[in-house]
Amino acid sequence: MKLKIAVLPGDGIGLEIVSQALEATKAVCAKFGHEVTYREALVGAAAIDAVGNPYPPETHALCMESSAVLFGAIGSPKYDNDPSAKVRPEQGLLAMRKQLGLYANIRPVTTFPSLIHKSPLRTDLVEGADFMCIRELTGGIYFGRPQGRSEDGETAYDTCVYTREEIERIIRLAYGYALKRRKKLTVVDKANVLATSRLWRQTAQRLEKEYPCVETEYMFVDNAAMQIIQWPKRFDVMVTENMFGDILTDEASVITGSLGMLPSASIGIHTSVFEPIHGSYPQAAGKDIANPLATILSAALMFEYTFGLQAEADAIREAVNASLAGKIVTEDIAGDGRAYKTSEVGKWITDYLYSRQISPHNA
């Protein structure tokens, strides 16, 4: 198979972690006999500094002609600390989502046996937790209009807007994943207060009848936030709107023990983007200390979701689990053990993949 990938390192630690994921991707392709081609492009603060646009037309063109996008992170203190900045790196992320039609963000939340002790929750609560958060990504308050401030600057306003079509599209996607898993779907909203949430719930209740083999439950977002902490193992697939999903997925990611371990996939109409859930971590940029595992696991999602190559995805996950078991990890999860550099962890995983025996039925 021929794989054509757009590589967007972005800002901060993006260049370091994406380079390790790309090396793992090349190793898997070499072992399984695939041909991979890739090109890099600018996005975020790096793109603003270079061309004044956080998501340049050239970057969008590359994404559109690629089968998948491997993405790092966006964000820079240079712009965070300048309230007068008219163009911000995060605008590039929103533009990419909108122009590529990235309507669904998928975040698997799974625990790693060797990291359970780092979870803020008791072992009995978090051990075996395995659920999927599906967040609507191109609607809601982040994209709603009107948006702005009054002339005197004393009043600000944002508008949350959803159409039935947008809601139905992502609810159907969520049911599709539930059918492949444990056949349970949790629809999260605030239907007791918000009109948009009432449309979400009405739409989901109508679609529920088409999926009788899936157990569907409805939960207010505040209750969902509590349940994720009190009983994370009760969830299978969770679907919600943009802002609720932004908050809940960050909360869910912490219970596994490390933000540096969780990948994500943004499913698009034109192409899909694969990225770690953590930010650009500018304090660590250039120091070779950032955890590359979430980005490497994002590459596994790329093989699985875009190219339908399950064995290749499983090979990457096997390598990551082997690195954890062997304590070949960066400082964020090393504890009292040796802390390896970003490049050392990446090389260990790449070497593992090159040395792995591929059986004929997998090749």
Looking at residue 191, what is its pLDDT?
Answer: 98
DSSP secondary structure of 150-205? -TTSS-EE------HHHHHHHHHHHHHHHHHTTSEEEEEE-TTT-HHHHHHHHHHH
As given in the structure block, the two tokens for residue 143 are 């994209």
Question: Is cis: bond before 146, omega within 30 of 0?
Answer: yes
pLDDT at 92 over 50: yes
Mean pLDDT for all residues in the chain = 93
Looking at residue 134, what is its pLDDT?
Answer: 97
Residue spans per domain, the chain: 1-101+269-363, 109-258
Confidence of residue 45 (pLDDT cuts 50, 70, 90): very high
Positive or negative torsion for Cα 239, 243, 248, 254: positive
Eight-state DSSP code of residue 21: H
Looking at residue 361, what is its pLDDT?
Answer: 40
Residue positions annotated with a catalytic role: 142, 190, 222, 246, 250
Helices (H) and strands (E) in the chain, counts: 14, 12
Integer Cα distance of 341 and 303 in angstroms: 26
The residues, ordered by sequence, that sit 6+ positions from 352 with a Cβ below 8 Å of its Cβ are: 319, 322, 323
Confidence of residue 360 (pLDDT cuts 50, 70, 90): very low
Would you tell me how many other CB atoms lie within 10 Å of the CB of residue 215?
A: 14
Mean pLDDT of 98-121: 90
Query: Considering the chain, what percentage of its residues have pLDDT values greater than 70?
Result: 98
Question: Is 3.30.420.40 the CATH number for 1-101+269-363?
Answer: no
pLDDT at 215 over 90: yes
Of 70-84, 161-175, 224-238, 309-323, the range with the lowest mean pLDDT is: 70-84
As given in the structure block, the two tokens for residue 8 are 């967007």
Integer Cα distance of 42 and 46 in angstroms: 6
Looking at residue 358, what is its pLDDT?
Answer: 61
Question: Per CATH, the architecture of 109-258 is what?
Answer: 3-Layer(aba) Sandwich (3.40)
Integer Cα distance of 141 and 161 in angstroms: 6
Looking at residue 74, what is its pLDDT?
Answer: 95
pLDDT at 362 over 60: no
Give the chain's length. 363
In order of 19, 116, 225, 239, 350, the CA distances from 64 in angstroms are 21, 39, 36, 27, 28
Confidence of residue 205 (pLDDT cuts 50, 70, 90): very high
Domains 1-101+269-363 and 109-258 equal at CATH topology level? yes
